[in-house]
Amino acid sequence: MTMNRTTLTMAAAGLLAVALLAPAAAQRHQPEVHGVFDGDSMYTLLPPDGIPAIREPAYVSGAEADAQMSNQEPVMGMVSGDDAVCWSTWQLDHHEIVNDQLAGTAIAATW
């Protein structure tokens, strides 16, 4: 059986990919059992700060948001006097918290 150049190149690329990805897979965070509740194990699935907060949110005007977002896009918002902000819950699914200021007051919006 002879191997052509394409087969050898593909095999080498596959071996290289395995060699590069294996250490990363070995370093993945493993869930830790913290106790048992009603017969079920309780796990820590994410390390501390495993879901990063949005610390410096970028905002657009209402007109720009209207042009970019669907009318059905779910948002979470706050109003204080004449100031208003909102965040797409689709983005918050990946962050879960926004640290910001509204009308000069520090806020933490959580999802």
What pLDDT is attached to residue 79? 92
| pLDDT computed for residue 62 by the predictor | 86
Listing DSSP states for 9-45 in one string gives HHHHHHHHHHHHHHHHHHTSPPPEEEEEETTEEEEE-
46 alpha-carbon distance from chain centroid: 12
**How confident is the model at residue 34, as a pLDDT?**
82
| pLDDT at position 15 | 62
Q: Supply the pLDDT for residue 19.
A: 60
pLDDT of residue 108: 92
Domain ranges for the chain: 5-44, 62-110
**Is residue 57 packed enough to be buried (19+ CB in 10 Å), middle (13-18) or exposed (0-12)?**
middle
What pLDDT, on the 0 to 100 scale, is given for residue 107?
92
Query: Could you state, in chain order, the average pLDDT of each consecutive group of 10 residues for the chain (111 residues)?
Result: 59 60 61 86 81 89 89 90 89 87 91 84
